[in-house]
Structure 1
């Protein structure tokens, strides 16, 4: 798969959404929560087979920083400390394409686990 490369990447901090704009003006917004729970990192996806870790309590997660990894990916630095996944242009494009199915599957897995998108305990944000 050779996905298009965004011409602009913009973080909407208030809405906690990452906007990817492509040549011709096509634009897509992905919630930071969605990006976090579908991180391509081994910490989230596991090391093959059925070793993925269900991400819970990520509803209010935001981004601290975005850096480019070469010419092929973004590295997202989440405010919960997670920053080990590289989001290739192909992977971002797949997240856009499969957003509805991915999200429905995630919500189903949360329900089956008796888990929640809401964080547990008191959330403390660093200023």
Structure 2
């Protein structure tokens, strides 16, 4: 592992994080060259909080009606994560750099699974 790409625990290091409130997009660049653009809706419905993820995979909740959700603010948590405050007032998930990196790599699959789960449960992205 290259020291400038990963922290001591082997987690990818972010080099830049930008919140584009108007576009409802969070962009993150990592030292290894990966750059991700996350729609606020995806981050909200995939929040690593217990409220969304539960305490095991069978408890994961399908969060509907968040098509227009935005991110009001972000706050660094140590050197390992960021807390996002969404405009629906959800703010309990800590988005670790590792979680965001993995989500960035699997974003398309995660989004497709989310849309399929909404459809399967007769739910909508609209409020």
Scaled to the shorter chain, the TM-score interval is 0.7 to 0.9
Residue equivalent to 1:7: 15
Count of residue pairs brought into register by the alignment: 119
Residue equivalent to 1:31: 39
Q: Alignment partner of 2:116: what SS?
A: helix
TM-score normalized by structure 1? 0.88
Question: Cα–Cα, structure 1 residues 49 and 26, in superposed 2: closer, same or farther, change >3 Å?
Answer: closer
TM-score normalized by structure 2? 0.88
Residues 1-127 of structure 1: pairs in structure 2 closer than 5 A: 2-23=10-31, 26-119=34-127
Q: Is the 8 A contact 1:2 1:90 kept in 2?
A: no
**Structure 1 unaligned residues grouped into runs of 5+:** 120-127
Describe the superposition over 1:71-116 as per-residue Cα deviations: whole angstroms up to 9, x where unpaired. Answer: 1000000010100000001100010011011011000000001000
**Structure 2 unaligned residues grouped into runs of 5+:** 1-8
Structure 1 distance, partners of 2:123, 2:91, is 23
